[in-house]
Amino acid sequence: MQSKTSFFNFTVFKKNISRTWIVGLLYFIILTLMQPVAFIIQMAHFEEYWYSDSGYTRTACLYESYAYRPNAYIACIVAIVVAGLTFKYLFFKRDNYMVHAFPVSRKSLFFSGFLSSSVVATVPLILNGIVMTIVAAAEHAYAFDAIWYWTLIGVVSVELFLAIAIFSLMTSGQIATAVVFYIIFNYLYFLIELAFRLMASLLLFGMSESLTSISFTPFSPVVFIDNNCMVSTYKTYDELGMIKTFTHSLDGGKYIACYAAVAVVLLIVAYLLYKFKKLETVQDFISVPFLKPVFAVGVSFFVSMVAGAFVAGLVDSIHYQTYNSRFTIAIVATLIIGCIIFLATQMMIEKTVRVFSAKRFGMMVGYTVAALVAMVLIRADVFKVENKIPSANDIAWVGIQSNYTMVFTDEDDILSVRELHKGFLADKQEIRDVNVLYKDVPGGNFTIKYKLKNGKVILRSYAVVDTKSDMVSEAYVSATQPILDYLNNPAQIKEHIIGNIWNNCDIKEMSFSTYTYDENLNDFVSNWESFDYLTEREKKAKFKKVYDAVLKDIDEGNLFTTSFGEDNYNPEIDDQLYNDFSFTVSNKKIPYFSDEDTYWDYQYMDPEPTYERNIYAALTRKCTNTLKALKDEGFYYDDSEILTYEEYNKAMGNPVGEGPILY
């Protein structure tokens, strides 16, 4: 045996390797199948498939095979399995006392265990990198930097997760609990953020869509590493779809360096926990004394606040509550549930139901006061969450979604929307209780989305009701009508619903469906006039006349208008036609800016610019200019070929409000 003061014990190291080598072998097999074998198969069919025909080289294919390839998830699983097998003696009384009776220091046991775990978890990655390098050279695919950068990411990820795993194992005397702690520690920041966002979505004004803007930060490494530390590729194409340029980058190097430093710190902390860990804590729920109150209070605080918000949300879904009453219900439920959870966690920690004492009662009172203060601060919006409107200098664009979606990138428009938002929030007392105050008034909602220059998103969604109703107050109208006026400005409609090329475009295609009733089929039969007998020039001239009529209807406020008193998908609003009408705007020189694609971040799906867009218009009988132009140009010949949703439902015997719905 080596000295008790040694950092390393070869006998312990060999014993650990004998227990865990099978995990490393399985890891290597998985990596081999994922990379060398898969790439060899891919290259065997290189000439047969589309790679060479589209301008791909073998090197480009190798870069592509590494781009966005997951790494952290597998490393996370391998780390906890290897660490668990290595330190499993800590969770069984007989093994625990026996191992620590050997003339080997805890320092040697710890670092020999860590080193053996590192060897088992990292050697497969390095061997895979070597094999992949040989395969790449043989296939004339010279993306060696991608191979070894991905390998580096894998090695650092494994070491990070090993440090987290060992730290988790030292905090508990039960292997199952330690694994649960491992999962919690990997997602701790995300879980805390999720708790606050869940509560905000149920309680705070305008935050109902809070969960949709949640993001994974560096504090959630399992997800963050795969999304931010990787090989990225960038391509441009020519008019024939051939690759014109192909470049790549190795992203996330600074995060990898930080994660390596974090792994070292966590390893030191884990060692200190092990050094002072008492042998008799084996089988304890939590074996580190100072973590017991932290765990009990932390779980009680976050779980109870979310549970309290859910109770308030449940009551509100059964019967609409005012903002204040909903918060009152949430506070009461939070305090009651929190006390129950606090006592339950104490019972788990102490492994007894006899947890009632003056000390624990004091801790419970402390938690109750903390939870109450937190809820009151949130209710008072001390942190300015409900009123948060970002600075204009920080905004890349702002979008408003209601009946239609508009995205504003112009500086003046951004300033205007910010002022409209401020005006809307100036008096929240009434507008946040519209569901209670105006429950009999038709309503809908609108959403404001700020995309910041740093990539973050601020999203607010508000319930609104019809501003034309006699039941609503002047204060409500003054807060909401300016937003409607802005959205219904004809200039905004043309620019943001038809698009940036609305006044400089050709109408490439146009379609209008007509309907005639067939008694034999007992249904309406649709027809479209294709104008196949006309030349392309003649068709475009015909389409242009109808398009000019569409613009006239927009100017008169009859098309693409937004109303807070109507549901987007109600087929009977404003005498809406059952007939389908669409047209394609095109400009071969000016890329089309899609407000909807930008709002939903769909650009990444097709990074290449597009020069045309198909626009669907839900016509109503109020669109007299468009209907007249369609009839004059031969899209239909008789008014009987036009019908509304209401007329369709009556003819088909459908109940009011049912039947085919237009999306």
Q: CA torsion sign, 572 to 576 to 580 to 584?
A: negative
Spatial neighbors of 79 by CB under 8 A, at least 6 apart, are: 117, 121, 158, 161, 162, 164, 165
β pairing state of 581-586 and 506-518: antiparallel
- Distance in angstroms (rounded) separating the CA atoms of residues 269 and 163: 9
Euclidean distance between CA atoms 493 and 497, whole angstroms:
5
Burial label for 158, CB within 10 Å (0-12, 13-18, 19+), is buried
Report the pLDDT averaged over residues 123-148: 94
Nearest alpha-carbon partner for 172 in 82, 273, 79: 273
Which H or E run includes 231? strand 230-237
Give the residue extent of every domain in the chain: 10-185+253-289, 293-379, 392-478, 493-652
Q: For residue 37, what are its two tokens?
A: 């074998």
Question: Could you tell me the end-to-end alpha-carbon distance of the chain, in angstroms, rounded to an integer?
Answer: 76
608 pLDDT more than 80: no
Which of 497, 515, 643, 475 has its CA nearest to residue 560? 497
Is residue 585 a contact partner of residue 613, using CB atoms and an 8 Å limit?
yes
pLDDT tens for each residue of 261-319? 999 999 999 999 988 888 877 878 788 887 887 888 788 888 888 899 999 989 988 88
Residue 429, token pair as written in the block: 């007392």
Under the banding of pLDDT at 50, 70 and 90, the label for residue 435 is confident
Burial class of 439 by CB neighbour count within 10 A (0 to 12, 13 to 18, 19+) = exposed
Rounded to 5 degrees, what are φ and ψ at 452? -85, 160
Query: What pLDDT is stored for residue 460 in this prediction?
Result: 93
CA angle (238 as vertex; 235, 241 as ends), nearest 5 = 80
C-alpha of 313 from chain center: 22
* Per-residue exposure over 467-495, b if at least 16 CB sit within 10 Å of its own CB, e if not: bebeebeeebeebbeebbebbbebebbbb
Q: Are 309 and 332 in contact (CB under 8 A)?
A: no
What's the confidence (pLDDT) of residue 241?
Answer: 65
Q: How many CB atoms lie within 10 A of CB 569?
A: 10
3-7, 384-388, 463-467, 575-579: least confident range: 3-7
| pLDDT tens per residue, range 493-529 | 999 999 999 999 999 999 999 999 888 888 899 999 9
Highest mean pLDDT out of 40-49, 169-178, 251-260:
251-260
How far apart are the C-alpha atoms of 382 and 374, rounded to whole Å? 10
Res 356: pLDDT? 78
Q: Which helix (H) or strand (E) holds 247?
A: strand 243-251
Q: What is the pLDDT of residue 5?
A: 57
Q: pLDDT at position 632, please?
A: 95
pLDDT digits (tens, 9 = 90+) for 316-362: 888 888 888 999 999 999 989 988 888 888 888 777 777 777 777 88
Distance CA 580, CA 247 (A): 44
